[in-house]
Amino acid sequence: MKAVVAGASGGIGQPLSLLLKACPLVDKLALYDVVNTPGVATDLSHISSVAQIEGFLPADDGLKKALTGADIVVIPAGIPRKPGMTRDDLFKINAGIVKGLIEGVATTCPDAYILVISNPVNSTVPIAAEILKKAGKFNPKKLFGVTTLDVVRAETFAQSFTGEKDPSKTNIPVIGGHSGETIVPLYSQAKPAVKIPEDKLDALINRVQFGGDEVVKAKDGTGSATLSMAYAGFRFAEAVMKAAKGESNIVEPTFVYLPGVEGGDEIAKETGCDFFSVPVHLGKDGAEKAVNIVKEANEYEKKLLQKCYEGLKGNIEKGVEFVKNPP
């Protein structure tokens, strides 16, 4: 298994690369960034784990060299938020960064699983899909927007109600998109079941939806979530790699192109959104089946979902337009 991190020298990129270097499922690890990858790769190369590691910069066809033979490409490249910014404010710069990297994937390793972390995920994943379509290389089963941090937050913030020592043992589906009200945690579908007191539910859901802002505020101008994101990004990448190696019963929420995944058409019809995060069965070929958990939502959650659809449609459209009618 060859893994590539694009944006490997950044706040997410470095700890994510560390986790991938330490992961026994990874045989080769290529780090790509516009700066500092020789240093990051040399540092990580001293770790006595399986993965052979190399760092690449744009010079000398570095992107092509990094991507050659890749099985999985994780993309945390792009600028993060500062206080007062929305994720959509990142679009102008990050859209172009993601476009360039996906063009590289389309020509060099079109069969790789592609995991997009760069914000705004609600738009960068549609951008990636359109670029791949344009190149005739779009496989919807292998393109994922990483929304695992929302799941991790939903588990963590509910711990006081579950009483579990290990919060990750409670499975809480978080669906929709990855920004503010497009993030919809479905506590009614938690397994094992969780009873959230009615007067605490609004605040809990708001904390999951705006957990990113909590970190941006606390970091006070120096960036957004990096370490928790590296953990979440690795958790999702590991799930994809385990499924690729034949492990069964792996289901993770992720932002996918619904019409391209079995079971997705019905969800796209119900939500009016072609891209949506739902629990997805992962297998050797990637996204095997999308679970229609939308229809299980209770009345309270259905109201949250209505708001989600409104915001998400515009974000998706913006990404598609960026490729179809470039600015």
List contacts with ligand NAD (CB under 6 A): 6-7, 9-13, 32-35, 76-81, 90, 94, 97, 100-101, 117-119, 121, 146, 149, 178, 223-226, 229
Question: Least distance in Å: CB of 310 to ligand LMR?
Answer: 20
Count Cβ atoms within 10 A of the Cβ of residue 165 and give its class: 0-12 exposed, 13-18 middle, 19 or more buried.
Answer: exposed
Q: Taking CB under 6 A as the rule, which mask of x and - marks residues 76-115 in contact with ligand LMR?
A: ----xx-----x----------------------------
Q: Which two tokens stand for residue 50?
A: 């399986």
46 noted as active-site residue:
no
Beta bridge partners of 80: none
Question: Least distance in Å: CB of 218 to ligand LMR?
Answer: 11
Count Cβ atoms within 10 A of the Cβ of residue 316 and give its class: 0-12 exposed, 13-18 middle, 19 or more buried.
Answer: buried
> According to CB under 6 A, which one of 51, 154, 190, 215 is a site residue for ligand LMR?
215
d(CA 119, CA 111): 23
Amino acid at 46: H
d(CA 207, CA 176): 16
Q: b/e per residue, 174-202, with b = 16+ CB within 10 A?
A: bbbbbbbbbbbbbbbbbeeebebeeeeee
Question: Least distance in Å: CB of 243 to ligand LMR?
Answer: 24
Candidates 14-22, 195-203, 209-217, 304-312 — which segment interacts with ligand LMR by CB under 6 A? 209-217
**Per annotation, catalytic residue among 2, 178, 281, 313:** 178
When asked if residue 216 is in the footprint of ligand LMR (CB under 6 A), the reply is: yes
Query: Residues annotated in the binding site, as ranges?
Result: 7-13, 33, 81, 87, 94, 117-119, 153, 229
Distances (CA, A) of 283 to 71, 74, 75, 160, 254: 14, 18, 21, 34, 14
Query: Residues annotated in the binding site for NAD(+), as ranges?
Result: 7-13, 33, 94, 117-119, 229
Query: Residues annotated in the binding site for substrate, as ranges?
Result: 81, 87, 119, 153
Residues that bind ligand LMR (CB under 6 A): 80-81, 87, 119, 149, 212, 215-216, 224-225
